[in-house]
Amino acid sequence: MTSRRNFIKVSGLIAASAMATPLNAIEKIEGTEVIKIKPPALNAGDTVAIISPAGAVWDENQVETFTNILKSFGFNVIHGKTLKEKFGYFAGTDDLRANELNNFFADKKIKGIFCMKGGWGCARILDKIDYDAIKKNPKVLIGFSDITALLLAITHKTGLITFHGPVGNSGWNDFTKNIFTNVTMVPKPFNFPENPLSEEKPFVITGGKASGELVGGNLTVLSALIGSDYLPDWKNKILFLEEAKEEPYSIDRMLTQLKLSGVLNSISGFVFGKCAKCLAEEPQKAFTFHEVILQHIKPLGIPAFYGAMIGHIENKLTVPLGIDATMDADKGVISLEENSVI
C-alpha cells in the first residue's frame, strides 16, 4: 500500500498433512493444537517470482531495478503477468491476481515469491486463494503494506510462516539486504539489531519483556480485516504494526477498533514500527501520534514500545509472522527464538 499503510488445528489429519507437505517443513509444537510450517531457506541459484497481487505497476523501470537486486542474491528471476496488467488501479482482475499467486505456489520450481508493490487489492482475493495448495508447497512469501492481508490470511489458514519485509519498489539498502538474508536465507534464530545511528531510538511505552508469536503488519489493512475469518486468535501474541500518511485521528480510530474487538486486551506485547508522515493537518486542534499511542497502549500494562524499523522507511526489518519471539521494550529490540526457515 503505497499511500498508507490459527494456525491449523489438528483434527486427526496430521498424517495426511505430512504426506502432502515435505516432512522437514512441518514443525509440530508439542502440547498445542498448532502445526507450524516453515518454508525452505532461499539459496543462490533458486528461482523466484515477482508478482503484483494488489496495485498496478506504472513504472516498468522499477521492475528492472528490482530484478537486478534479486539477481544480486544469486536468484534466477521470473516475472508474473501482473507486473504488466492494468485493471483500474489493480494489477489485473481479482481472478488473474489470485490465480497467479496460486500457480506460483503450486510450481515446485519456484522457491520464493516477492511482491512488487502494495497499493490496495489483496483483501479482494483472499477468498480465491488455494490455501490447501499453499500448505502443500511451502515457500517464502514476502511483502508489506497492503501485502499484510495476504501474510495474515496465509499464515492463519495454512500455518506457513510468511514475511513482512521490503517490496520491489521500496528501498533495498545494505541494512535491509542484511536483515532479509539473515531471516530468509539462514536457518538460525536471529536477533534484530538496534536502530542504526541514523534512526531515532525507540520510545518505551511500558518496560519489560514479553514472549509470543509475532503477528501484525499495516494497521489500516489489519483493522479492515477485523470480523473476517483471516485473522488469528490474538491471545499471547506480540502484535507489531506500522503505518504511513495517516493523521493521528485515523490512528486513534483504528486502534479503538482493535481495542473494541478484543485484540489489544489479548496480546502479550506491542510494537509499533514507524508511522511515516503521520502528522495532523491542523496540529493545534489535534493529538499527536505519540499522545494517541500512549492513550491506547499505556493502560494495557504490557511491554510496549514504538520506533522499530518496520514500515515505510529506508532501513527495514524483515519480520516473520508466526515465529516465536521475545521483545525487550526497555531496549527496543525483538529477538527471534527460532529459525524462520529450514
Q: Percentage of residues in the chain with pLDDT exceeding 70?
A: 90
Q: Is residue 13 part of a domain?
A: no
- What are the tens digits of pLDDT across the range 263-288? 999 999 999 999 999 999 999 999 99
Identify the pLDDT of residue 23: 42
Question: 173-182, 191-200, 290-299: which range is least confident on average?
Answer: 191-200
Does residue 52 sit in the same domain as residue 171? yes
pLDDT score at 197: 74
Q: Give the strand pairing for 319-321 and 324-328.
A: unpaired
Cβ neighbours, 10 Å, residue 12: 6
Q: Is 281 a catalytic residue?
A: no
Q: Which residue stretches of 228-317 are H helix?
A: 248-260, 289-297
Please determine, for residue 20, whether its predicted confidence score (pLDDT) is greater than 90: no
| AA letter at 264 | L
What angle do helix axes 289-297 and 248-260 make, rounded to 10 degrees? 10
Query: Which of 184, 215, 243 is at the close of a domain?
Result: 184
Residue 194 banded pLDDT, cuts 50, 70, 90: confident
Which uninterrupted H or E stretch holds 250?
A: helix 248-260
Catalytic position from the list 100, 247, 312, 340: 312
Task: Tell me whether residue 25 is in a domain.
Answer: no
Residue 17: what pLDDT?
A: 43
Q: Is 55 left (phi over 0), alpha (psi -120 to 50) or beta?
A: beta
Q: How far apart are the first and last CA of the chain?
A: 30
| 183 touches 270 (CB < 8 A) | no
β-sheet bridge partners, residue 164: 143, 319
**Active-site annotation holder among 17, 52, 145, 170:** 145
Residue 11 binned pLDDT confidence (cut-offs 50, 70, 90): very low
In this prediction, residue 32 carries a pLDDT of 41
Instruction: From the candidates 100, 242, 243, 247, give the one annotated as an active-site residue.
Output: 242
Contact 332, 307 (CB under 8 A): yes
Domain membership of residue 52 as a residue range: 47-184
Q: What is the residue-averaged pLDDT of the chain?
A: 91
Q: Both 174 and 240 in a single domain?
A: no
Does the pLDDT value for residue 63 go beyond 60?
yes
Q: What are phi and psi of 72, to 5 degrees?
A: -65, -20
Strand partners, 241: 217, 272
pTM for the full predicted model: 0.91
Q: Quick check: is 79 catalytic?
A: no
Tell me, yes or no, whether 31 lies in a domain.
no
Give yes or no: 312 in active site: yes
